[in-house]
Amino acid sequence: MENDSIRASGSNTLVDIWINGKLRAICVTRDAVDGYLHPDPPPATESARCEFVRTHLPEVVAAAKASLREGSPSADTVVVERAHLVKPGGVGERRSGDRRKGDRRKTVTPAETLPHGERRRAERRKTERRGRPKKDA
Protein backbone atom coordinates (compact mmCIF):
# COMPACT_ATOMS: atom_id res chain seq x y z
CA MET A 1 0.00 0.00 0.00
CA GLU A 2 1.27 3.45 -0.83
CA ASN A 3 2.38 5.75 1.96
CA ASP A 4 0.09 8.61 0.94
CA SER A 5 -3.09 6.53 0.91
CA ILE A 6 -3.20 6.49 4.74
CA ARG A 7 -3.11 9.91 6.37
CA ALA A 8 -4.24 11.62 9.54
CA SER A 9 -6.69 14.50 9.56
CA GLY A 10 -7.35 15.89 13.01
CA SER A 11 -8.69 13.11 15.21
CA ASN A 12 -9.54 10.87 12.23
CA THR A 13 -7.42 8.68 9.99
CA LEU A 14 -8.26 8.59 6.28
CA VAL A 15 -7.64 5.68 3.91
CA ASP A 16 -8.23 5.60 0.14
CA ILE A 17 -8.77 2.01 -1.00
CA TRP A 18 -10.67 -0.01 -3.59
CA ILE A 19 -13.70 -1.77 -2.11
CA ASN A 20 -16.23 -3.67 -4.23
CA GLY A 21 -14.81 -2.27 -7.47
CA LYS A 22 -14.89 1.38 -6.45
CA LEU A 23 -12.33 3.75 -4.95
CA ARG A 24 -13.65 4.79 -1.55
CA ALA A 25 -12.47 7.06 1.22
CA ILE A 26 -12.60 5.37 4.63
CA CYS A 27 -12.57 7.60 7.70
CA VAL A 28 -11.52 5.73 10.85
CA THR A 29 -12.45 7.73 13.94
CA ARG A 30 -10.15 8.08 16.93
CA ASP A 31 -12.90 6.55 19.09
CA ALA A 32 -12.87 3.41 16.90
CA VAL A 33 -9.11 2.99 17.34
CA ASP A 34 -9.35 3.62 21.10
CA GLY A 35 -12.19 1.09 21.40
CA TYR A 36 -10.25 -1.54 19.48
CA LEU A 37 -7.23 -1.14 21.78
CA HIS A 38 -9.36 -0.66 24.91
CA PRO A 39 -7.26 -2.22 27.71
CA ASP A 40 -4.05 -0.99 26.08
CA PRO A 41 -3.25 2.73 25.87
CA PRO A 42 -4.42 4.37 22.62
CA PRO A 43 -1.90 5.71 20.09
CA ALA A 44 -0.87 9.21 21.11
CA THR A 45 0.39 10.63 17.81
CA GLU A 46 -1.10 10.90 14.34
CA SER A 47 1.65 8.73 12.88
CA ALA A 48 0.92 6.03 15.47
CA ARG A 49 -2.77 6.05 14.46
CA CYS A 50 -1.76 5.78 10.79
CA GLU A 51 0.49 2.84 11.66
CA PHE A 52 -2.38 1.19 13.56
CA VAL A 53 -4.67 1.51 10.53
CA ARG A 54 -1.93 0.17 8.24
CA THR A 55 -1.29 -2.89 10.42
CA HIS A 56 -5.01 -3.56 11.01
CA LEU A 57 -6.15 -2.86 7.45
CA PRO A 58 -8.08 -6.16 7.01
CA GLU A 59 -10.24 -5.35 10.05
CA VAL A 60 -10.79 -1.78 8.82
CA VAL A 61 -11.83 -2.99 5.34
CA ALA A 62 -14.18 -5.60 6.85
CA ALA A 63 -15.78 -2.89 9.00
CA ALA A 64 -16.13 -0.63 5.96
CA LYS A 65 -17.76 -3.40 3.92
CA ALA A 66 -20.19 -4.10 6.77
CA SER A 67 -21.01 -0.39 6.96
CA LEU A 68 -21.64 -0.34 3.20
CA ARG A 69 -24.01 -3.31 3.48
CA GLU A 70 -25.95 -1.61 6.27
CA GLY A 71 -26.09 1.82 4.62
CA SER A 72 -25.72 2.92 1.03
CA PRO A 73 -23.68 0.49 -1.12
CA SER A 74 -22.88 3.25 -3.61
CA ALA A 75 -21.35 5.65 -1.05
CA ASP A 76 -17.95 7.16 -1.85
CA THR A 77 -17.10 7.86 1.80
CA VAL A 78 -17.41 5.37 4.67
CA VAL A 79 -17.06 6.33 8.33
CA VAL A 80 -15.81 3.50 10.57
CA GLU A 81 -16.86 4.14 14.15
CA ARG A 82 -16.38 2.29 17.43
CA ALA A 83 -19.34 -0.03 16.88
CA HIS A 84 -18.04 -1.18 13.49
CA LEU A 85 -14.43 -1.95 14.41
CA VAL A 86 -14.32 -4.96 16.76
CA LYS A 87 -11.53 -7.38 17.60
CA PRO A 88 -11.83 -10.76 15.90
CA GLY A 89 -12.75 -13.42 18.44
CA GLY A 90 -13.18 -10.89 21.23
CA VAL A 91 -16.96 -11.10 21.44
CA GLY A 92 -18.66 -14.46 21.23
CA GLU A 93 -15.76 -16.69 22.16
CA ARG A 94 -17.36 -20.08 22.70
CA ARG A 95 -14.68 -21.84 24.69
CA SER A 96 -14.38 -20.83 28.28
CA GLY A 97 -11.08 -22.54 28.94
CA ASP A 98 -8.70 -25.22 27.86
CA ARG A 99 -10.34 -28.20 26.17
CA ARG A 100 -7.93 -30.67 27.67
CA LYS A 101 -8.95 -31.75 31.11
CA GLY A 102 -6.29 -32.96 33.50
CA ASP A 103 -2.78 -34.20 33.00
CA ARG A 104 -2.08 -36.06 29.75
CA ARG A 105 1.31 -37.47 30.65
CA LYS A 106 1.67 -41.22 30.49
CA THR A 107 2.39 -42.98 33.74
CA VAL A 108 4.45 -46.10 34.15
CA THR A 109 2.45 -48.89 35.79
CA PRO A 110 3.54 -52.50 36.32
CA ALA A 111 2.08 -55.01 33.83
CA GLU A 112 0.61 -57.09 36.66
CA THR A 113 -1.75 -54.30 37.72
CA LEU A 114 -3.07 -53.58 34.22
CA PRO A 115 -6.32 -55.17 32.99
CA HIS A 116 -5.95 -57.92 30.37
CA GLY A 117 -6.63 -55.66 27.33
CA GLU A 118 -4.12 -53.04 28.41
CA ARG A 119 -1.42 -55.50 29.40
CA ARG A 120 -0.47 -56.17 25.78
CA ARG A 121 0.39 -52.51 25.23
CA ALA A 122 2.92 -52.58 28.05
CA GLU A 123 4.51 -55.87 26.98
CA ARG A 124 5.39 -54.93 23.41
CA ARG A 125 8.47 -56.42 21.89
CA LYS A 126 11.53 -54.38 22.61
CA THR A 127 14.01 -56.36 20.50
CA GLU A 128 14.27 -56.92 16.77
CA ARG A 129 11.98 -59.54 15.28
CA ARG A 130 14.52 -61.13 13.03
CA GLY A 131 17.89 -62.28 14.09
CA ARG A 132 20.98 -60.99 12.48
CA PRO A 133 21.82 -62.48 9.13
CA LYS A 134 24.53 -65.13 9.25
CA LYS A 135 27.80 -64.24 7.66
CA ASP A 136 28.97 -66.38 4.78
CA ALA A 137 32.51 -67.40 5.45
Confidence of residue 74 (pLDDT cuts 50, 70, 90): confident
Instruction: Looking at 11-115, list the stretches that DSSP marks H as alpha helix, in order from N- to C-terminal side.
Output: 30-36, 46-55, 57-70
Residue range 10-43, pLDDT digits in tens = 888 999 999 888 899 999 988 888 888 877 787 8
pLDDT at 122 over 50: no
- Asked if residues 12 and 46 have their Cβ atoms less than 8 Å apart, the reply is no
Q: Considering only CA atoms, which of 30, 61, 59 is closest in space to residue 43?
A: 30
Q: Which of 64-68, 92-96, 109-113 has the highest mean pLDDT?
A: 64-68
Give the mean model confidence (pLDDT) for residues 85-92.
Answer: 64
pLDDT class for 91, splitting at 50, 70, 90? low
Run of H or E including 28? strand 22-28
pLDDT of residue 14: 92
The pTM of the full predicted model, rounded to 2 decimals, is: 0.58
| Predicted confidence (pLDDT) at residue 88 exceeds the cutoff of 70 | no
**Spatial separation of the C-alpha atoms in residues 15 and 53, rounded to whole Å:** 8
Per-domain residue ranges for the chain? 3-80
Q: Can you name the CATH fold of 3-80? A: Double Stranded RNA Binding Domain (3.30.160)
pLDDT tens per residue, range 44-55: 888 888 888 898
The partner residues of 19 in beta bridges, in order of sequence, read: 22
CA distance 56 to 61: 9
pLDDT at residue 111 in the model: 64
Backbone angles phi, psi at 80, to 5 degrees: -100, 115
Signed CA dihedral, 59, 63, 64, 69: sign only: positive
